[in-house]
Amino acid sequence: MNGWKKVMGFGLAAALTATALVGCGGGTKPAAEGNKSAGEAPKAEAKTLDQIKQRGKLVVGVKYDTNLFGLKDPASGKVEGLDIDIAKALAKKVLGDENKIELKEVTSKTRIPMLKNGEIDAIIATMTITEERKKEVDFSDVYFKAGQSLLVKKDSKINGIQDVTKGVKVLAVKGSTSAKNIREKAPEATVLEFENYAEAFTALKSGKGDALTTDNSILFGMVKQDNNYKVVGGTFTDEPYGIAVRKGDAEFLKVVNDLLKELKDKGEYDKIYEKWIGEKPSK
pLDDT tens for each residue of 40-88: 444 444 589 999 999 999 999 999 999 999 999 999 999 999 999 999 9
Model confidence pLDDT, tens digit, residues 126-166: 999 999 999 999 999 999 999 999 999 999 999 999 999 99
Measured between alpha carbons, how far is 243 from 257 in angstroms, rounded to an integer?
9
Model confidence pLDDT, tens digit, residues 258-279: 999 999 999 999 999 999 988 7
First and final CA of the chain: distance in angstroms? 19
Domain 12-145+240-277 has CATH 3.30.70.1520: no
The residues facing 195 across adjacent strands are none
Identical topology for domains 12-145+240-277 and 148-232: yes
- Is the confidence at residue 38, as pLDDT, over 70? no
Please report which residue ranges of 44-127 form alpha helices under DSSP H.
48-55, 82-95, 111-116
Specify the pairing of strand 137-139 against strand 244-246: antiparallel
Measured between alpha carbons, how far is 144 from 267 in angstroms, rounded to an integer?
15
Which CATH class, in words, describes the domain spanning 148-232? alpha beta
Q: What's the confidence (pLDDT) of residue 9?
A: 41
Phi and psi angles of residue 133, each rounded to the nearest 5 degrees, phi first: -70, -30
Q: What angle do CA 54, 55, 56 make, to 5 degrees?
A: 95
Q: Which pairs from 68-73 meet CB under 8 Å and 24+ separation?
A: 68/217, 68/218, 68/220, 68/221, 68/224, 68/276, 68/277, 69/125, 69/126, 69/217, 69/218, 69/221, 69/276, 70/103, 70/124, 70/125, 70/126, 71/221, 72/105
Q: What's the confidence (pLDDT) of residue 203?
A: 98
- Is the confidence at residue 118, as pLDDT, over 90? yes
- Is the confidence at residue 225, as pLDDT, over 80? yes
- Is the confidence at residue 94, as pLDDT, over 60? yes
Q: Are 49 and 94 in contact (CB under 8 A)?
A: yes
The residues facing 172 across adjacent strands are 193
Q: What's the confidence (pLDDT) of residue 3?
A: 44
Of the listed ranges 29-33, 145-149, 251-255, 266-270, the one predicted with least confidence: 29-33
More confidently predicted of 233 and 12: 233
Distance from chain centroid for Cα 133 = 13
Q: What's the confidence (pLDDT) of residue 282?
A: 64
Per domain, the residue ranges of the chain are 12-145+240-277, 148-232
